[in-house]
Amino acid sequence: MTFLKISFLMSVITLVKGILTYVMWKIIAVSVGPKGIAIIEQFQNFIQVSRVAIPTGINEGVVKYVSEYKENFEKKAWILSNAFAINIAFFVIALILLVFFSRIISHSVFQSTVHPGMIILVGVGIGLFILNNLGLSILNAEMDAKKYAICMIANTVCNFLTTAGLITYFGLIGGLIGFALNQTFVGLLTTYLVIKSRWFSIQLFLSKINFAGIKRLLTYSCIPFSAALVEPIALMIINRYLVDTLSWTDAGYWQAITRLSNSYLTLMTMVFGFYFIPKFSSLKTRQALRTEVIKSHYYLSPLILIAVVLVFLLKEKIIVLMYSTSFLPVLPLFKFQLLGDFARANTWILNNILVARAMVKGCLAMELTFTATHVLLTVIFVHYEGLIGCAMAFAVSYSLYWVTMIIFSILYLKEKPVQVNAYA
C-alpha cells in the first residue's frame, strides 16, 4: 500500500480518535479541573512505564523483522514464537512486581497510599494489552492497513466509552480506572482479526524457542524500550518538579499544553509508526533509503508547518474548546511549545533511520542525551522564568535534537551505497 493511501487511512483513524479524545478530555477537564488532569497524566505516565516492562519494544522488533522476512515462513516463525514467549515472561514478572509493591508505587505516583488497587488493576490488564500490541505489530509488519485501522478505531471507541462513562459517574477515581483499562479489552478483537488473516498459521507461534532469537529481539527492543521508558519517567520528574516548585495547578497547565501537542501530532506519529519503520527496514541500500527520506520530507514538512501555524493562530479558541476558560493561562506557552513541536516532528522522520537500521547504540545515546537535556533545561528555565520555562526548555532541547539528527543523516546517507545484510 502506498504512502498516500496509508496516510488517508491513518487520517480516518486520527479523525475518529481526535473527536473522541477531545470529548473525553473535555469531560475530564470540566469534571476534575487542572489539578485532576495533572494527577491523571501522572498516572498515565506510570502506566506507560509499567507496560514497557513487558517490554513493548519487542513488538517493534516484530515490525522490523517480520517485514523483512515476510516471504520466509521459517524465519518469520522464528521471530514470532520468540516474541510471544518473551512477552508472556515479562507479563508474569510485571504482574508480580505491581501486586507486591502496589502501596509503595501508589505513594510514588500519587504521593498517597490510598490507591494501591489502581496499581494492581494496571498489572492485571497487561495480559490483554500484550495481545493487542503484538497483534497490531503483526498487522503493521504485514502492512494490513484496513485491519490495523479497524483495531485502532475500536480501541479508541472502547477507551472513550470506558473512561468517559466512569469519570462521569465516579469522578477522578473513575477516570483512573478507565485509564488503567485502556488498550486491554480490544486485545480480543485484534487477536481475532490476526487469526482470520490469510497469512495466519498457528505454526508461526510454535517454533522452537532459542537463545539467538531472544537475543536478537531483546537487543533491538532496547531502541523503542528506551524511548517508551525514558520519556514518561522524564515527564514524571518534570511534573513532580513543577508540583514542588510551583503547584499542582501549574503542573496541570503544562500537562494540558503537552496533551494538546500530542493530539494534533497524532496523525504524524501514526503514519511514522505504520509506514516508515517497515518501509525503511525493507530498503537494502543507503541510496534507496536516502531517496525515501527526501520524499518523506517533501510530503510531511510543509504539513507540519501548516499544522503548527494553524494551532498558533487558533490557540485561544482551541484551549476553550478542548478544555475550558480556566486553562487560558497556558496561552503564553504556545509560541515556544509549537516551535518545539515543529522540531520534534521533523526529528521523528530522521530518527526512523536509526530504528529501521537497528542502530541500537546510536538510538540509546540520542534518547538518553536529549531526554536528560530536556529535564535539565526545564529545571533551569523554570527556576528563572516560571511556568513558561517549561515550553522554552522543550523548544530548545528538541531544536538541538533536530540539528543533531540532520548532521547524522547527511553523514550517513551520503556514504557510498552498500548492501545491507538483512539477516546477520
User: pLDDT per residue over 39-96, tens digit each?
Assistant: 887 788 788 777 765 556 677 778 777 877 777 788 888 888 888 888 888 888 888 9
Range of the domain at 345: 3-413
Number of domains present in the structure of the chain:
1
For residue 124, is pLDDT > 70? yes
- 418 within some domain: no
Q: Are 23 and 160 in contact (CB under 8 A)?
A: yes
pLDDT digits (tens, 9 = 90+) for 158-174: 888 888 888 888 888 88
Query: Of the given ranges (115-119, 211-215, 276-280, 335-339), which has the lowest mean pLDDT?
Result: 276-280
pTM: 0.60
- 424 within some domain: no
- pLDDT classification of 270: cutoffs 50, 70, 90: low
For residue 400, is pLDDT > 90? yes
pLDDT reported for residue 244: 85
- 54 within some domain: yes
pLDDT reported for residue 95: 87
- 326 within some domain: yes
- 114 within some domain: yes
Separation CA 371–CA 234 (nearest Å): 7
Separation CA 44–CA 63 (nearest Å): 25
Separation CA 355–CA 223 (nearest Å): 7
- 170 within some domain: yes
pLDDT reported for residue 138: 87
Among 262, 344, 341, residue whose Cα is nearest residue 18? 262
- 423 within some domain: no
Instruction: State the helix-helix crossing angle for 315-322 and 286-313, rounded to 10 degrees.
Output: 80
- 154 within some domain: yes
For residue 294, is pLDDT > 80? no
- Extract the C-alpha cell encoding 247: 503547584
225/46: higher pLDDT: 46
Long-range CB contacts (within 8 A, 24+) of 9-16: 9/145, 9/146, 9/148, 9/149, 10/149, 10/267, 10/270, 10/271, 10/274, 11/267, 12/149, 12/153, 13/149, 13/152, 13/153, 13/156, 13/270, 14/266, 14/267, 14/270, 16/153, 16/156, 16/157
